[in-house]
Structure 1
Amino acid sequence: MNYSMLREGTPEQAGMRPERINVLQNRVKEWVEEGATPAAAMLVARKGVIVTHNGYGPLTPDVGAPLLEKDSLFPLASLTKPLTATCIMILVEDGKLDLFDPVNRFIPEFTGDGKAAINLHHLLTHTSGLRQEDVYEFVKKQEQKGVLVPELEPTSHPNEHTFFYLSYGAPLWKPPGTEMRYLGYGYKLLGEIVRRVSGQPLHQFAAERIFAPLGMKDTFYIVPEALFGRAVRRDESLAGGRWLGSPEALRDPSASGGAYSTVMDMAIFGQMFLNGGRYGNARILSPITVREMVKNQIPGVPATSNGSVFREASWGYGWNVRSMKQDDSGCLRSAHAYDHGGAGGVRLLIEPEYDLLWAYFPIVTDKLYTRNLFHNMVVSCIDD
């Protein structure tokens, strides 16, 4: 097993064609210059060798804004979910929980008809039978009723505390395990379980057990105020423009979508998975746990997403597993590829078959969808 740490090198050392790497870099630069994306950061690595690591465009839409730097902080949005899933799996390895434990073992307030059957596996794979819209409608009704919320606990965050206590009684949409329905709320619940089981807020647990050991010095669930000036912001007219990068978002430790990071830090996280749970001298997960996280854990379970029907949803623990389905990350992926993206454009993709990973953080607009094009160009660089 290769436990290598990422290092700068040449395309030839990585078994990639330098002329194709140039095409890739120039194309991303063109997308920024033409306005397909206002700004973009990228890192591609193969065999542990970083072959390109660049940023293009301004940090914010403000007049005279500084240029994007390699260490600029991007909102991960839903790319936060693999981080949260890793926290859960660390607790599994610690003997603190099992993925088939019911949610209400850890959150007794999580009640309702049929909900005793929902377990952590269902939350991780988006097969709980809950729907996001039903949860938020239930919370709204609870607010209108003036339901009293218990006092804030020392390890709770005020952004999460009230919402959780108003949401726990939300009704089921379908029996657990019958259909995948992408659910950010499920990962919020996982973050709350990390807090209750470990005795630490999620952001502290992740910092101690993942970020610090891996040297992910620029990854945060709550961004320190001194670093706010390094955060990417988008025009308010774009998707998420009023929230992503705002001071409120930078302070929001959502287990579903609150983290901020750089392409380098997320590439380190991806390399840890490629290495079977280890990076340098740091062992985060066992190889067996990694294998379970990145394989299809819901065979035969269908999904509907953005108007597309998938007979086989193919989802792991925190990761979208390619299998044979087509979605939005390029047509040249292998069946063993796994990835996750986030609202606004960010994505981390890992190709164990090719010992390859990339972190591509553009700002999505309605002019051109570039993520699939980016992946196809990346794999076209491979020369062995």
Structure 2
Amino acid sequence: MPIIETLNRWTPQEAGFRPEALAALDEHFRKLVADRRMQCGSYLIAREGRIFAEAAFGSRTFRAGSASESGSASGSESAAVAESSSGTDSSPAADSEAAPQSSSAPASEDDLLRTDSIRRIASITKLFVAVGIFQLIEQGKLNLRQPVSHWIEEFKHPKHAGIRVWHLLTHTSGIWPDPGYYTEPYPFGSWDVRFAFEPESEGPFAVKDEEAALKLRRSAWIRAMLAGSPGGEPGREWRYSSIGYSVLGEIISRASGMPFETYILRHITEPLGMSRTFFEVPEALHGEVCVTIDWDERRLTDKRDRTFDPPRAGGGLHSTLGDLFKFGQMLLDNGVYGGTRILSRKSVERMTRDHLAGQDVFGFCWGGRVPAMKHGLGPGLTGDDEWYAPGSYGHEGAGRSKLLLDPSRRAVIVYFVPSNLDWVPESLLMTNNLIGSGWQ
């Protein structure tokens, strides 16, 4: 399935990207797949709104066996682009899968990762949350310095009253971070204790009033998140918090009057023509989703009632390279894609600049111990030691994926490097270096 029109493409040379760097990138992906450091991988690189390189390697599903020799698979248009841009064979084949639980049977054509395969993008979802917040700001329904307690009464406590919307966007709210952020030996999240905040249905503490019980069930995840002492004062330390983005999702829901997920689809993905981006992938497309573990499969078929769950704002979306290209190009073009305006130019400018500059906000950062974090109002900003121009921004997603935007070159870079291994630095860091060093 084509992800963008043929006329909207050009060659690496026309884009100012060295073909030999692209060949090195392809070889890098092939080797990681062959060495079982990742199950599969795919990328898309565009400049000035035109795609000049994309390719896919390896097995879409961890249940597939090894495929044939060359290790790449591309869509009907992708093959021509990959072949012309990198000089490599882009026939539909793959070296091997990364997942150790895979079978030894040869992979079928359907088992290969394609450039239009759907993948869980995890925390890249947070960029959509930020766009949603700024849309509501433009509508006069929110402001960045508004106390969170204005929307969520559980924050009306001296310990939490100082938390503003912008603190949540920059991960400086003081809310406890994701489990494992401090490399603690026995990490757990607020969801592990949420049961303790559910209303009792029987016994001496039973909540008999149905309306009161319903309210308690709806707020159980919030009260569990806020239980105990805060991690710190707002604005003092960078602590990566996905549950903080769930709070932003709740604010979007209350300010817009519709469920968070509905808002994101109706006001961002659908206007952008992101037809393969979902919170719940349609059953007819399950066979096109990249899965690396059993949980990826269970997530697709999970039909449980989510009425009392947090909004899926910390990482609930599935998407494709091509759809994320559209989203990224919209940001590069100051809020417009295909003639449709999603955000104002001023909102994009404000969202993507460093809002922690000059504040020396420390980030433990999984042991990285960064003395002065950089962060936009949603996007992460590239550091001085990275291969991209100052002002570049984007987000990574667990599992793993990345969307990176380079305004100086007007470039959109998207890649998926799925693996069931805990951490594969070469799949992210070295991929960054190979792409970043390829510009002429």
> When the two structures are superposed, what TM-score results if normalisation uses the length of structure 1?
0.86
Q: Which residue of 2 aligns with 1:374?
A: 431
Over residues 276-332 of structure 1, what are the superposed CA-to-partner deviations in whole Å (9 max), with x where a residue is unaligned?
1111201111111111111111222221111111121111111111243x4xxxx31
1:119 to 156, 164, 176: 164
Q: How far has the Cα of 1:244 moved from its partner?
A: 7.1
Matched, 1:305 2:365: yes
Q: Which residue of 1 aligns with 2:266?
A: 208
Over residues 11-67 of structure 1, what are the superposed CA-to-partner deviations in whole Å (9 max), with x where a residue is unaligned?
122122223222222322332233221111210112222111222111111144611
> When the two structures are aligned, how many residues end up with a matched partner?
365
- Cα distance in structure 1, aligned partners of 2:128 and 2:408: 22
Mapping 1:78-227, distance limit 5 Å: 78-132=123-177, 135-136=190-191, 139=194, 141-143=196-198, 162-164=220-222, 166-169=224-227, 171-227=229-285
- Cα distance in structure 2, aligned partners of 1:214 and 1:126: 27
Aligned partner of residue 161 in structure 2, secondary structure = helix
Matched, 1:359 2:408: no
Q: Which residue of 2 aligns with 1:57?
A: 58
Q: Which residue of 2 aligns with 1:239?
A: none
Summarize the Cα distance change of 1:210–1:198 in structure 2 as closer, same or farther, 3 Å threshold: same
Summarize the Cα distance change of 1:354–1:173 in structure 2 as closer, same or farther, 3 Å threshold: same
Q: State whether residues 44 and 55 of structure 2, in contact with CA within 8 Å, keep that contact through their aligned partners in structure 1.
A: yes
Name the amino acid aligned to 1:53. E
Q: Which residue of 1 aligns with 2:45?
A: 44
Over residues 106-138 of structure 1, what are the superposed CA-to-partner deviations in whole Å (9 max), with x where a residue is unaligned?
111334332111110011111111104574566
Summarize the Cα distance change of 1:43–1:250 in structure 2 as closer, same or farther, 3 Å threshold: farther
Summarize the Cα distance change of 1:333–1:52 in structure 2 as closer, same or farther, 3 Å threshold: same
Name the amino acid aligned to 2:143. D
Q: State whether residues 175 and 226 of structure 2, in contact with CA within 8 Å, keep that contact through their aligned partners in structure 1.
A: no
Q: State whether residues 406 and 412 of structure 2, in contact with CA within 8 Å, keep that contact through their aligned partners in structure 1.
A: yes
Q: Which residue of 2 aligns with 1:333?
A: 388
Q: How far has the Cα of 1:162 moved from its partner?
A: 4.7
Aligned partner of residue 405 in structure 2, secondary structure = strand
Q: Which residue of 1 aligns with 2:325?
A: 267
Q: How far has the Cα of 1:95 moved from its partner?
A: 0.7
Summarize the Cα distance change of 1:8–1:367 in structure 2 as closer, same or farther, 3 Å threshold: same
- Cα distance in structure 1, aligned partners of 2:251 and 2:318: 21
Q: State whether residues 154 and 222 of structure 2, in contact with CA within 8 Å, keep that contact through their aligned partners in structure 1.
A: no
Q: Which has the larger radius of gyration?
A: 2
Summarize the Cα distance change of 1:351–1:244 in structure 2 as closer, same or farther, 3 Å threshold: farther
Summarize the Cα distance change of 1:59–1:137 in structure 2 as closer, same or farther, 3 Å threshold: closer
Q: How far has the Cα of 1:139 moved from its partner?
A: 3.1
Q: Which residue of 1 aligns with 2:376?
A: 316
Summarize the Cα distance change of 1:138–1:61 in structure 2 as closer, same or farther, 3 Å threshold: closer
Name the amino acid aligned to 2:138. E
Q: How far has the Cα of 1:376 moved from its partner?
A: 1.6
Name the amino acid aligned to 2:349. R
Summarize the Cα distance change of 1:367–1:302 in structure 2 as closer, same or farther, 3 Å threshold: closer
Q: State whether residues 127 and 180 of structure 1, in contact with CA within 8 Å, keep that contact through their aligned partners in structure 2.
A: yes
CA RMSD of aligned residues (A): 2.8
Identity among equivalent pairs (%): 32
Aligned partner of residue 408 in structure 2, secondary structure = helix
- Cα distance in structure 1, aligned partners of 2:62 and 2:192: 34
Name the amino acid aligned to 2:282. P
Q: How far has the Cα of 1:186 moved from its partner?
A: 0.6
Name the amino acid aligned to 1:289. S
Over residues 335-365 of structure 1, what are the superposed CA-to-partner deviations in whole Å (9 max), with x where a residue is unaligned?
2111211111111111112222211110143
Q: How far has the Cα of 1:105 moved from its partner?
A: 0.6
Q: State whether residues 10 and 49 of structure 1, in contact with CA within 8 Å, keep that contact through their aligned partners in structure 2.
A: no
Q: State whether residues 42 and 57 of structure 2, in contact with CA within 8 Å, keep that contact through their aligned partners in structure 1.
A: yes
- Cα distance in structure 1, aligned partners of 2:25 and 2:192: 44
- Cα distance in structure 2, aligned partners of 1:97 and 1:12: 45
Mapping 1:14-53, distance limit 5 Å: 14-53=15-54
Summarize the Cα distance change of 1:306–1:144 in structure 2 as closer, same or farther, 3 Å threshold: farther
**Which runs of 5 or more residues in structure 2 are unaligned?**
65-106, 178-187
Q: How far has the Cα of 1:227 moved from its partner?
A: 2.2
Bigger drift between 197-206 and 186-195 goes to 197-206
**Which runs of 5 or more residues in structure 1 are unaligned?**
237-241
- Cα distance in structure 2, aligned partners of 1:304 and 1:14: 38
- Cα distance in structure 2, aligned partners of 1:151 and 1:230: 41
Q: How far has the Cα of 1:381 moved from its partner?
A: 2.3
Aligned partner of residue 42 in structure 1, secondary structure = strand
Summarize the Cα distance change of 1:144–1:209 in structure 2 as closer, same or farther, 3 Å threshold: closer
- Cα distance in structure 1, aligned partners of 2:219 and 2:134: 23
- Cα distance in structure 2, aligned partners of 1:93 and 1:288: 10
